């Protein structure tokens, strides 16, 4: 009976995994140098956690199930809610700010399509406990620093929800949310109709369209002409000043709405110049979830990077370490095992496991692409020698084992 993998999921072959681990390690190195620490949460959570954060509508896109104890569970669709839950349960007493990162898989039930999978990987950062511009700027700079380390050309858009919310402050929460959704989709027609529907005041309508149309160098000045001096704009100005200190290039866009109601202030999105339509690879901002989850009034800022999309654009490939296969006969096998064990102290080393003859062993070494073979024939063994063969050039020389190891150690 032939069984397939579940639709929309993937098996990763060795060459996939090598590249994925390589890229993962580059990211780990960057965040560690920025002083962030890894945490890990369970793969499934109580369904409540995600509906509390995102509303009941999210259930339609979630892998949820009733466990054998009759509890409603969900495979996590994202990691911000689990990290905030973990913070509330276990880390409230830790010195602030907490600088955390995660690298985990997430799940969503949706129609499988190119580049979208039902199980996918997210790398992300959550900086908990600071409401300063410094925190917002650091998080953005860290995201850009990761992409930089991966040689990915990322285009950064930064905005601030406080400014658009200031313009909408006369409307009720439901109207604000609805407008944010149109803004997020860049659906100007839909937005226009909706504003008609709710009889939005003319100046609100004018200010809103002006604000989301702002771009270029003097974006903050233009915004100030609309809103006047408000604290949100001053906070945003400080973030921008810090981004300059980090030498980060950005585009200001007050039309970023992120489509998620729990963002409170700065929001940003990074697009990969090399990807097609679905070219957002990172998104984040500052948000407030901890109170909702039963903790104190603690602000946080974070981002998520879609690791699978990163793997599509990242041209960095791992360089395999040089490897060797020890070739032996039945009579030299025990010595060959000993030699293989010596070699495994310094490099990946294979030995025949199929009772193949000499020629078939060499052919296998060629098939699996080892860089060297180290041949232990019967005559060689008697003379206390081995033959080291460079599989690329075909060159070979007869050496003592010690000499051969010294030679291999240079690679």
Of residues 92, 246, 262, 380, which one binds its own copies by CB under 8 A? 246
Is 262 labelled as part of a ligand binding site?
yes
Least CB distance to its own copies at residue 409 (A): 13
State yes or no: residue 146 binds its own copies (CB under 8 A).
Answer: no
Closer to its own copies at the Cβ: 57 or 245?
Answer: 245
Residues 35-64 that bind its own copies (CB under 8 A): 35, 37-46, 48-49, 52, 60, 63
CB-CB contact of 87 with 262 (8 Å): no
State yes or no: residue 297 binds its own copies (CB under 8 A).
Answer: no
Buried b (16+ CB within 10 A) or exposed e, 310-343: bbebbeeeeeeeebbbbbbbeebeeebeebbebb
State yes or no: residue 17 binds its own copies (CB under 8 A).
Answer: yes
Of residues 125, 127, 305, 313, which one binds its own copies by CB under 8 A? 127
State yes or no: residue 354 binds its own copies (CB under 8 A).
Answer: yes
Of residues 19, 132, 251, 288, which one binds its own copies by CB under 8 A? 132
- Tell me the per-residue interface mask from 213 to 242 with its own copies, x by CB under 8 A, - otherwise: -----------------------------x
Closer to its own copies at the Cβ: 6 or 55?
Answer: 6
Whole-number Å distance between alpha carbons of 255 and 235: 17
Closer to its own copies at the Cβ: 42 or 259?
Answer: 42
State yes or no: residue 296 binds its own copies (CB under 8 A).
Answer: no
> How is residue 356 written in tokens?
């193949």
> How is residue 225 written in tokens?
């002409």
Of residues 27, 100, 147, 405, which one binds its own copies by CB under 8 A? 100
Whole-number Å distance between alpha carbons of 376 and 391: 16
Closer to its own copies at the Cβ: 101 or 182?
Answer: 101
Of residues 201, 273, 292, 378, which one binds its own copies by CB under 8 A? 292
For the chain, the residue count is 411
Annotate 218-260 with DSSP letters as a single string: THHHHHHHHH-S-HHHHHHHHHHHHHHHTT---EE-TT--TT-
Alpha helices in 87-218 (DSSP H): 133-149, 161-167, 173-184, 188-197, 202-212
Least CB distance to its own copies at residue 174 (A): 21
Of residues 19, 26, 116, 119, which one binds its own copies by CB under 8 A? 119
**Straight-line distance from the first to the last Cα atom of the chain, in angstroms, rounded to the nearest whole number:** 46
- Candidates 209-217, 227-235, 363-371, 377-385; binding stretch for its own copies (CB under 8 A): 363-371
Is 258 labelled as part of a ligand binding site?
yes
Dihedral angle, C-alpha 303, 160, 257, 157, nearest 10 °: -60
CB-CB contact of 139 with 127 (8 Å): yes
Buried b (16+ CB within 10 A) or exposed e, 111-134: eeeeeebbebbbbbbbbbbbbbbe
State yes or no: residue 389 binds its own copies (CB under 8 A).
Answer: no
State yes or no: residue 109 binds its own copies (CB under 8 A).
Answer: yes
Of residues 4, 113, 199, 393, which one binds its own copies by CB under 8 A? 4
Q: Which residues are annotated as a binding site?
A: 78-80, 108, 122, 126, 258, 262-263
């Amino acid at each position: 009976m032939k069984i397939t993998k579940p639709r929309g999921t993937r098996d990763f072959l060795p060459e996939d995994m090598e590249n994925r681990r390589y890229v993962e390690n580059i990211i780990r190195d960057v965040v560690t140098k920025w002083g962030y620490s890894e945490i890990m949460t369970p793969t499934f959570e109580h369904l409540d956690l995600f509906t509390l954060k995102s509303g009941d509508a999210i259930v339609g896109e979630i892998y949820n199930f009733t466990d054998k104890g009759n509890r409603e569970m969900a495979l996590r669709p994202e990691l911000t809610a689990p990290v905030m839950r973990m913070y509330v349960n276990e880390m409230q007493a830790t010195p602030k700010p907490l600088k955390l990162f995660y690298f985990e898989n997430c799940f969503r039930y949706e129609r499988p399509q190119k580049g979208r999978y039902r199980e996918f990987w997210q790398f992300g950062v959550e900086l908990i406990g600071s409401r300063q511009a410094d925190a917002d700027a650091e998080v953005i700079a860290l995201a850009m620093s990761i992409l930089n380390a991966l040689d990915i050309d990322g285009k950064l858009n930064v905005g601030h929800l406080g400014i658009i919310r200031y313009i909408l402050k006369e409307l009720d929460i439901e109207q604000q949310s609805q407008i944010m959704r149109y803004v997020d989709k860049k659906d100007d027609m839909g937005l226009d109709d909706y504003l008609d529907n709710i009889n939005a005041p003319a100046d609100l309508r004018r200010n809103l369209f002006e604000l989301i149309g702002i771009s270029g160098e003097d974006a903050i000045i233009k915004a100030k002409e609309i809103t006047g001096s408000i604290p949100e704009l001053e906070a945003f100005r400080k973030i921008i000043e810090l981004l300059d200190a980090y030498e980060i290039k950005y585009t200001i866009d007050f039309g970023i709405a992120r489509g998620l109601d729990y963002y409170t202030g700065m929001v940003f999105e990074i697009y990969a110049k090399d990807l097609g339509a679905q070219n957002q690879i990172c998104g984040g901002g500052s948000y407030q979830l901890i109170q909702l989850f039963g903790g104190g009034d603690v602000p946080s800022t974070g981002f998520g990077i879609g690791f699978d999309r990163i793997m599509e654009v990242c041209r960095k490939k791992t360089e395999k370490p040089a490897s060797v296969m020890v070739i032996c006969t039945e009579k030299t096998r025990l010595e060959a095992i000993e030699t293989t064990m010596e070699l495994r102290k310094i490099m990946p080393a294979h030995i025949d496991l199929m009772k193949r003859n000499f020629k078939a062993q060499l052919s296998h070494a060629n098939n699996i692409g080892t860089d060297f073979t180290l041949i232990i024939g019967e005559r060689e063994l008697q003379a206390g020698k081995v033959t080291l063969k460079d599989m690329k050039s075909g060159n070979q020389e007869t050496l003592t084992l010690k000499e051969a190891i010294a030679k291999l150690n240079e690679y």
